[in-house]
Chains A and B, each alone.
Chain A
Amino acid sequence: MTAQSRAGSSSEWSPARPTADPGQVHELADGSAPIVTLKRRRSYAWLGLTPFFLYIAAFFILPTGTVLFSAFRKTDAGTGVTSFTGSNVSSALHGVYFTGIKNSLTLALITGVVGALVGLVLAWAIVSSTGNVLTRFVSTAAAVLANFGGVPLAFLFIATVGNSGLLTKALADHFHINLNSDLHFDLYGITGLELVYLYFQIPLMVLVITPALEGLKPQWQEAAANLGATRWQYWRHVGAPILAPNVLGAALLLFCSGFSAYATADALTSGAFPLIPLQIHAVISGNVLAGMENLGDALALIMVVIVVPLMVIYQLLQRRTTRWLR
């Protein structure tokens, strides 16, 4: 039980645990004793779960499914007849929306890769140096920025490096440096978005990768040293291969997180910068041409098509390493 729950907690994000074989009805997934005594009544147990399933169906599956469905529907403005079409998706892949997809992918890729690398190094620095109290401070702070950042992050940066930000002014007043023209930095453009996104991407990486780093047994390093390995050889032959799937998975997670983020970008650019999530908002708020009502749904479909497979891969990678790190 303890081993399993530890493994479970460090493998965030595994919907189906290895032991949760659908065929093993008689055994609990955590390997505890079969509940033979309750067997007779079990056939009715699913009834108790119906509120949950109904809720999920009504408030999650229905809206999400509807989006994916209406991405392929179009109402003819003249006749009022609704029919299947690929034109929404096709429009969503062209023109300004193509730019939006491209921008979102670029932003997600850059902040995902940089965030993963910096976050990995930072997590290592934290894991290998701090005491318990500081670790707790840092880990909760990271959790705040990664999970609850959103809008406030935008304002932190606006206040610091925005048009009338503190640093912007200080540089201009004292050094005659203009962030925009001299340093080619624009908080409200892609460079600014990258800078701000990293402010939650790096903490996210720290959170996700810390359990993996802590799971590296000191014995592995000692055993390697014992067999004659230098520190570098240990990392190259032992540490890196163990961490690789985790790091890759975490990078995918960061990519998806950057790709899906809405609040920070909206607050920072007032919804003006072409990114898919912001464009979806613009479209469904009615700022579009007639006959393109379902364009937002098509954009949403594109997001889902990009994000879901990556998250599934992330899952599989996480599950793979869980058994090594317990």
Chain B
Amino acid sequence: MVALTPTAGAGGLAETQTGGPATSSRRRRRPGIGRGLVLLICGIYFIGPLVGAFWFSIQDKVHGGVQFSAYAHVFSAVGFSDAFMLSLKLGIGTVLISLLLMVPTMLLLHLRAPKFRPVVETLCLMPLVIPPVVLVAGVGVVLAWGPNQLAGTPLQTFLNAIQSGKTPWVLILEYVVLTLPFTYRSLDAGIRSVDIHTLTEAGLNLGAGWGTVTMRILLPSLRTSVLNAAFLSFALVFGEYTVASILQYQPFAVFIVAAGQTEGQLSTSLSLLSLLITWLLLLLISLLGGRNSTKVDI
């Protein structure tokens, strides 16, 4: 639900003059049975199910032994490609809309309207407080107005349009809300770390217009944090289950559950793959961000 910390590099261990007595003396201390035991037990708990699931997914139930068909046949599984493409579409749509909405908002907020910052920050973090299931319950109620209270109005047409058709826009619109905390934190950290005031003033001072300043100075300097926000949103949308399943769409995560009714191995292998891919994605972000820059916690 909360907190994404790509790196722990920002630890505030004070460096001493000689460059390392603190760490060195720590290393000299005896390893500590307690610490080892904690790591061992937690290691078993966390790695156990992963290993178990992997083993389960490659068992050959018919002939015994090992086979990788659950992985080999992922793409040919019935419904998989539809679900996958849907998730892809939702992910891209969400990323685009949330960046389009939030990048100008955040720049404006920092440069011109700082007094609105507490309000905007609170609003952006609210989706973490309100359980998604509550939000989706509300969305259900509002959608139901279409054929009832709003029948015959342009709003009914709008509500119809976002539900039906090839792209379920209602999901994208709500996913933008769900990813707001991530987007806000990434962009906020990025903007703080480059001191956009000085950059902007320097740009204006050199005779650039606001447009030039935004396109040529601000956006390029926020590249990492924008990328960061995009990755996080995408990953979140790709794994999203609650809203999609309650509104009865079948993107990737819902497909995994549906397939699980009949094909346990397929669901297990997809689960493992999605965890692995998300993890690699986060590792990539953490490497991109470097150790000193944006640390996104939510």
Contact = CB atoms under 8 A, between A and B. Distances in A.
Interface stretch (A94-102, A237-245, A258-266): A258-266
Contacts of B39: 122, 125-126, 129
B193 A300 contact: no
Contact of A9 (B114, B246, B261, B297): B297
Interface stretch (B78-86, B88-96, B216-224, B264-272): B264-272
B192 A12 contact: no
A137 interface: yes
Q: Which of A1, A141, A260 has the most CB of B within 10 A?
A: A260
B1 A146 contact: yes
B278 A144 contact: yes
A158 B55 CA distance: 12
Interface string B217-235: 0000000000000000001
A9 B9 contact: no
B50 interface: yes
Given A204-B2, A207-B5, A307-B129, A300 B134 contact: yes
A218 B122 contact: no
A270 B295 CA distance: 37
Interface residues of B, number: 113
Given A25-B114, A214-B12, A218-B14, A12 B298 contact: yes
B137 interface: yes
B253 A56 contact: no
Given A161-B52, A199-B49, A311-B128, 10 more contacts: A16-B118, A32-B197, A147-B3, A156-B271, A207-B4, A260-B131, A280-B134, A281-B246, A300-B137, A308-B129
Interface of B: 1-14, 22, 26, 32, 35, 38-39, 42, 45-46, 48-50, 52-53, 55-57, 59, 101-102, 104-105, 108-118, 120-123, 125-142, 173-174, 176-177, 185, 188-189, 192-193, 195, 197, 201, 235-236, 239-242, 245-246, 253, 256-257, 260-261, 264, 267-268, 270-272, 274-275, 278-279, 282-283, 286, 291, 294-298
Interface of A: 1, 4-6, 8-10, 12-13, 15-17, 20, 22, 24-25, 27-30, 32-33, 35, 37-38, 41-42, 45-46, 48-49, 51-52, 55-56, 59-60, 62-67, 70, 118, 121-122, 124-129, 132, 135-137, 139-161, 164-167, 198-199, 202, 204, 207-208, 210-211, 214-215, 217-219, 253, 256-257, 259-263, 266-267, 270, 277, 280-281, 284-285, 296-297, 300, 303-304, 307-308, 311
